[in-house]
Structure 1
Amino acid sequence: MRKIISVLTILFLIGCSDSDSSGSGEIGQGGSLAVFAIKGNYLYSVDEMKLNVFSLIDKEKPVKVNEIPIGFNIETLFSYGENLYVGSRNGMFIYSIKNPENPTKLSAVQHFTACDPVIANNTHSFVTLNSNTFCGNNINVLQVYDTKDLKNPKLIHSRTLAHPKGIGFFNTDYLLVCDDVIKIFNIQNPAEPVLVHSIDKECFDVIIRNNTLFAIGNNGIYHYELNSNNIKDVKLLSEIHF
């Protein structure tokens, strides 16, 4: 577990060195299993039970300014626009950070006990539920929620997979899912994702920036180049083995 946390931290810091091209206000970019995110002058993190807010206005002396109880078994944190999406073993929570020091809960959806990464865009949220030694039920699915109304998420799609974990967007058309292989779905119609290609590598998370894909596995990090004009044209550029 320490190895996994170290890898994710390194890749998050790599993301911090670049400005975000999505216009979402991100400074850093972690994978879908990340537990912290930087937005403007604030860092947000989750532990098992709460959301923590740190002011980075004085970058030499970060200050914790708030903590918000959420519940139990909190696992992941994803930020998009002025909202935070929190994944837990029991559900997904959406918080507004229009007031950055005082996040406010907009909604929550409950599901069967399972590990739960979540990512989101302007209109939809994508969740993978997976079961392992720590996560409880034998549930392995990809779920899609309509979150145009952030106060009323609606489940619009559910698909059984092998053991899905990390997920990431490649531009607006594709969703990459770490499963028994890295599966690439066309999500132009989010209610009916279409499997269009796969990368023969078993990994637990992905970080995607422009045409660059970092796939993170238990035994290494794999660096790919993606082609937005031909999703089947995936080139392995380098790999680091542990």
Structure 2
Amino acid sequence: MKKIIFIFLLALSFGCSESDSASNDSTGQGGSLAVFALKDNYLYSVDHMKLNVFSLINGEKPVKVNDIPIGFDIETLFAYGDNLFIGSRNGMFIYSISNPENPTKLSSVQHFTACDPVIANSTHSFVTLNSNTTCGNNTNVLQVYDTKDLKNPKLIHSRNLMQPKGIGFYTAKYLLVCDDVLKIFNIENPSEPILVHAIDKNCFDVIIRDNTLFAIGDKGVYRYKMNPNDIKDIQLESETNF
């Protein structure tokens, strides 16, 4: 089952770009639990301890051009603009890729040991911490950081949830969080997210392309049609069960 999910996420990530969500650069992005991201002619991936950089300039012969030690328990990778947001069990790291073959660390924040997906936009970063059996502690929260100054992230909001995992943006107004159900928050004021709707589906990650939502769970992948004019108008279009 895990192999099927990985292939699905890989296909979506390589087949779509951040331009689907109003960006002009070519950044391939999987869900918030992804460990790889495409930026122009480079592929970035994280393993347990390192950030790995691959050149795709020659598409038939990818070449590893760098690896950068980050720390222990690195889990997730999210690309936005010329920056990488890396989640670990102990914190979030922000790296600049303005020099694509030589990412440079801009900042980091530390938190209690917990599983840590992270996503970001031009002004804020959103992190979920959860107490999965492999992650330690009993921390289950949504955190919001002001990252307008990437060298000085500031925690501006923390909210207890049940066991949050994957997260994703829908337009600039909404944040979807995989919790006991799929919760939708209005984030027009990022310091005070407001719960406005929920989908009664247990999933661990989401991928959103235009008005299509893919919710990925242990038992299947669910495709929904969303309405940007009415966040409560969400229709299940198909499901693939494992």
- TM more than 0.5: yes
Q: Give the equivalent residue in structure 2 for 1:4.
A: 2
1:7 maps to amino acid: I
Whether the 8 Å CA contact 1:24–1:80 is kept in 2: the answer is no
Q: Distance in 2 between matches of 1:5 and 1:50?
A: 23
Q: Distance in 1 between matches of 2:211 and 2:35?
A: 24
Whether the 8 Å CA contact 2:174–2:188 is kept in 1: the answer is yes
Q: Give the equivalent residue in structure 2 for 1:194.
A: 194
Residue 170, structure 1, aligned to residue 173, structure 2: no
Whether the 8 Å CA contact 2:142–2:158 is kept in 1: the answer is yes
Structure 1 gap segments, 5+ residues each: none
Structure 2 gap segments, 5+ residues each: none
Question: Where do residues 154-165 of structure 1 align in structure 2 (5 Å cutoff)?
Answer: 154-165=154-165
1:98 maps to amino acid: S
Whether the 8 Å CA contact 2:29–2:78 is kept in 1: the answer is no
Whether the 8 Å CA contact 2:147–2:153 is kept in 1: the answer is yes
Whether the 8 Å CA contact 2:119–2:125 is kept in 1: the answer is yes
Instruction: Please give the TM-score of this superposition, normalised by the length of structure 1.
Output: 0.97
1:226 partner SS: strand
The Cα offsets for residues 36-80 of structure 1, whole Å up to 9 and x where unpaired, read as: 001000000000000000000001000000000000000000000
Change (3 A) 1:73 1:164: same
Q: Give the equivalent residue in structure 2 for 1:150.
A: 150
1:64 maps to amino acid: K
Change (3 A) 1:239 1:159: same
2:232 partner SS: coil
1:131 maps to amino acid: S
Whether the 8 Å CA contact 2:27–2:79 is kept in 1: the answer is no
Whether the 8 Å CA contact 2:124–2:145 is kept in 1: the answer is yes
List, as ranges, runs of 4+ consecutive aligned residues in structure 1 with deviation greater than 3 Å: none
1:73 maps to amino acid: D
Change (3 A) 1:15 1:73: closer
Aligned length: 240
Pick from 8, 11, 14: which aligns with 2:12?
14
Residue 44, structure 1, aligned to residue 76, structure 2: no
Q: Give the equivalent residue in structure 1 for 2:204.
A: 204
Q: CA deviation at 1:6?
A: 3.7
1:234 partner SS: strand
Q: Give the equivalent residue in structure 2 for 1:112.
A: 112
Instruction: Please give the TM-score of this superposition, normalised by the length of structure 2.
Output: 0.97
Q: Distance in 2 between matches of 1:26 and 1:178?
A: 26
Q: CA deviation at 1:133?
A: 1.1
Q: Distance in 2 between matches of 1:80 and 1:27?
A: 8
Q: Whose strand proportion is higher, 1 or 2?
A: 2
Change (3 A) 1:5 1:165: farther
1:13 maps to amino acid: A
How large is the RMSD of aligned CA atoms in angstroms? 1.1
Question: Where do residues 48-197 of structure 1 align in structure 2 (5 Å cutoff)?
Answer: 48-197=48-197
Q: Give the equivalent residue in structure 1 for 2:33.
A: 33
Q: CA deviation at 1:23?
A: 1.6
The Cα offsets for residues 105-149 of structure 1, whole Å up to 9 and x where unpaired, read as: 000000000000000000000000001110000000000000000
Q: Give the equivalent residue in structure 1 for 2:233.
A: 233
